[in-house]
Amino acid sequence: MDGSESNAGERLATIRAAVERAHKRFGPPASHVELIAVSKTFPADAVLPFLEAGQRVFGENRVQEAKDKWPGLRERFADVELHLIGPLQTNKVKDAVALFDVIETLDRDKLAVALSGEMQRTGRQPKLFVQVNIGGEAQKSGIAPDETVAFVARSREEHGLKIDGLMCIPPDGVPPGPYFAHLAVLAREAGVAELSMGMSSDFEVAIGMGATHVRVGSALFGHRPTPADMA
Ligand SMILES: *Cc1c(COP(=O)(O)O)cnc(C)c1O
């Protein structure tokens, strides 16, 4: 085992223990909280030690990047579960349905129609979460909070999709708790069971508000290079 592998194993154990602790103290009683390791921007060799340490659920935010990275890793780890957590353009629906096990970013009717068509054509049935723009921010994707319940109903009744959960990214720089609580209320009203919310800095708060999935990147993989760092 080389240094990076034991390092990955230790980080994974630390975060899993924190997830478990938060779940025990504040979380929903019965269900399990799934840790999604967000591997966006990290190459396959940085992901490999986490697979070797036993992690199987991963998140990516770009279809093309995932398509370049994951087929090779999946040849070795067939039981990986891959979540799409970034915006999905309709021209990438075919690739997304082929590659992802869970698509967390359904947020408009046009995309619902495209997903429904592709899922019928191929028989592949990735699980679907609806992304909610919980802070109503102009720069973020997601359906508006007050349109969420109707959109979930439409996705089911008109587009024939099974919707399993809601996902959100709260605004930066303000306490996220009220946004997570709001998403939990919307999920109850819409009749969906799963809640993908909470990232490296706030997953414990999210678990306290009922998260069933937390999406943790930098706390596992380290700092992500930004374009400014690379310049
Ligand atoms: C990058 C990303 C994350 C992980 O963020 P960290 O702060 O690195 O844990 C979670 N969710 C989404 C949608 C992301 O794009």
**Domain span at residue 91?**
5-220
* Rounded average pLDDT over 151-176: 97
- Inside any domain, residue 11: yes
Residue-level pLDDT at 182:
98
* Residue 92 predicted with pLDDT over 80: yes
* Residue 78 predicted with pLDDT over 50: yes
- Inside any domain, residue 231: no
Residue nearest to atom 12 of ligand 1 (CA): 85
DSSP labels for 57-94?
EEEES-HHHHHHHHHHHHHH-TT-EEEE-S---GGGHH
- Report CA(201)–ligand 1 centroid distance (Å): 10
- Report CA(42)–ligand 1 centroid distance (Å): 13
State how many domains the chain has. Answer: 1
- How, if at all, do strands 81-84 and 57-60 pair? parallel
- Inside any domain, residue 230: no
Ligand 1 is surrounded, with C-beta below 6 A, by 38, 40, 61, 85-86, 169, 199-201, 215-219
* Residue 1 predicted with pLDDT over 50: no
- Inside any domain, residue 90: yes
pLDDT averaged over the chain? 94
Total residue count of the chain as it appears in this document: 231
- Inside any domain, residue 227: no
- Inside any domain, residue 166: yes
Burial 39-54 (b: 16+ CB within 10 A, else e): bbebeeeebbbbbebe
Report residue 162's pLDDT band, with 50, 70 and 90 as the boundaries: very high
CATH number at residue 74: 3.20.20.10
- Inside any domain, residue 63: yes
- Report CA(170)–ligand 1 centroid distance (Å): 11
